[in-house]
Amino acid sequence: MKRMSLSLLAAMGLFAAQAVFAAPIELGASVQKTGSFANTGRYYADGYQFAVDKINEKGGVKIGDKQEKLHLTILDNQSDVNLSVRQYVQLLTQNKVNFLLGPFASNFALADSAISEKYQIPMIQGGGASDQIFNRGFKYVFGTLPPASAYFQTTVDAMMKLDPAPKTVALLYADDSFDVSVAEGAHKILAKTPLKIVIEQKYSSETSDFNSLLALIKSKNVDAILVAGHETEILNFIRQAKALDISPKFYSFTVGVSTADFRKALGSDADYAFGMTSWLPSSSLKDDYFGDGMQFAEEYRKRFGYEPDYHSASAVADVLAFVKAIEKAGSLDPKAVRNAIVNLDFNSLYGQIHFNAQGQLELPQTVIQIQNGKVVPIYNAKGFIGKPQYPMPAWKQR
């Protein structure tokens, strides 16, 4: 009898505990924590976790008059697209998560967003910028990176205002979804300018040796090189350009330049490289949870030991967008939250969050350049905001 009353008491206690601490809001993502994409994938795992912890620390998400905590499930897709698709199905069917956060890289987001669409669960992803993700008429995928086709817009604008402006361009790009979108966009942007494309070459994402392409570039004496590729390829490209003594007046890369890891690996050889970023830490970017962009960057660096770049900030923005949308919808109903996401318009550490008709943020890219090992903002939609080091000196004169 005594035992029975005890267990009854325990059961009641459990019940009471459940009533006080309601089930948290489940967010799920499949991210590249290992494998060849782990280098950038970890920024998403870290960014998501950082945002969830911060929001819980500030009390959680307000639904009606209740405060709910967030709970994050991150699975490791080992840089395998097929596995990531299976894991998104698992997140929805077994882990029963409420909403989905995205993986890194466009070809992953392209495949994974088919799952969110099929199950009609919103996915906000900060790792896929390819236009292909957003021109399929999907209703449940949203992206916080600016459209890939516009990546080189501000760079080309800036190039036209340099003195003397480059005349010939080589456009090189990897053969994945994101880089192909970037190159198609860049081709159209360049076609509207007097710049002449003398080399336009696609390369396989596995390429590590650029010597043949570099020899071709040298033989044509190209003024400017635009490369859309992955960080590892760009590291190899710059090293090999130096070894073959090839220094155009200007070169710009879609990724790498903004990340601390890239600058650390190359050291002074990274100098003069131009790049682009949709985000720079700034105190003018006010945020309800993190104070502002600068404070966010500082806190992030302290926790993870490296400086955040736009990947991390974009990941944090994904979580913030869900929080705002859930609060606005006042429920966890996927359709209601999806409709709230469509109408979002708020300021965050990442910038203004307001999705366009396709579901993508249209943040303009800021042109950046590495000068003496530091990232210097050079040009944005308003014009020059820093002094470019141009033309790039020959390798032997550095």
Under a CB-based contact definition with an 8 Å cutoff, are residues 106 and 178 in contact?
Answer: yes
Alpha carbons 54 and 361: distance in angstroms, whole number: 23
Among 156, 186, 213, 257, which residue interacts with another protein (rule: CB under 8 A)? 213
Q: At 357, phi and psi to the nearest 5?
A: -60, -30
The half-sphere exposure of 251 on its side-chain side, counting CA atoms within 13 A, is 29
Among 140, 178, 203, 355, which residue interacts with another protein (rule: CB under 8 A)? 203
Interface with another protein, residue 261, by CB under 8 A? yes
Interface with another protein, residue 288, by CB under 8 A? no
DSSP 65: T
Alpha carbons 107 and 35: distance in angstroms, whole number: 15
Among 83, 216, 294, 376, which residue interacts with another protein (rule: CB under 8 A)? 216
String marking each residue 167-186 x if it binds another protein according to CB under 8 A: --------x-----------
Q: Are strands 196-203 and 274-277 parallel, antiparallel or unpaired?
A: unpaired
Interface with another protein, residue 394, by CB under 8 A? no
Of 147-155, 159-167, 236-244, 273-281, which segment contacts another protein by CB under 8 A?
A: 236-244
Under a CB-based contact definition with an 8 Å cutoff, are residues 230 and 205 in contact?
Answer: yes
Interface with another protein, residue 161, by CB under 8 A? no
Among 6, 10, 12, 215, which residue interacts with another protein (rule: CB under 8 A)? 215
Q: State the minimum distance, in angstroms, from the CB of residue 240 to another protein.
A: 8
Interface with another protein, residue 187, by CB under 8 A? no
Alpha carbons 303 and 298: distance in angstroms, whole number: 9
Q: State the minimum distance, in angstroms, from the CB of residue 268 to another protein.
A: 9
Q: Which is nearer to another protein, 140 or 178 (CB)?
A: 178
Under a CB-based contact definition with an 8 Å cutoff, are residues 263 and 241 in contact?
Answer: no
Count residues contacting another protein (CB under 8 A)? 46
Interface with another protein, residue 82, by CB under 8 A? no
Interface with another protein, residue 242, by CB under 8 A? yes
Under a CB-based contact definition with an 8 Å cutoff, are residues 264 and 294 in contact?
Answer: no
At residue 115's C-alpha, the angle toward residues 145 and 54, to 5°, is 50
Under a CB-based contact definition with an 8 Å cutoff, are residues 269 and 263 in contact?
Answer: no
String marking each residue 42-61 x if it binds another protein according to CB under 8 A: x-------------------
Nearest alpha carbon to residue 60 among 51, 70, 50? 70
Interface with another protein, residue 245, by CB under 8 A? yes
Alpha carbons 241 and 243: distance in angstroms, whole number: 6
Q: Which residues in this chain contact another protein in the complex, by CB under 8 A?
A: 34-36, 38-39, 42, 79, 175, 198-204, 206-213, 215-216, 218-220, 231-232, 235-236, 239-240, 242-245, 261-262, 264-267, 269, 395
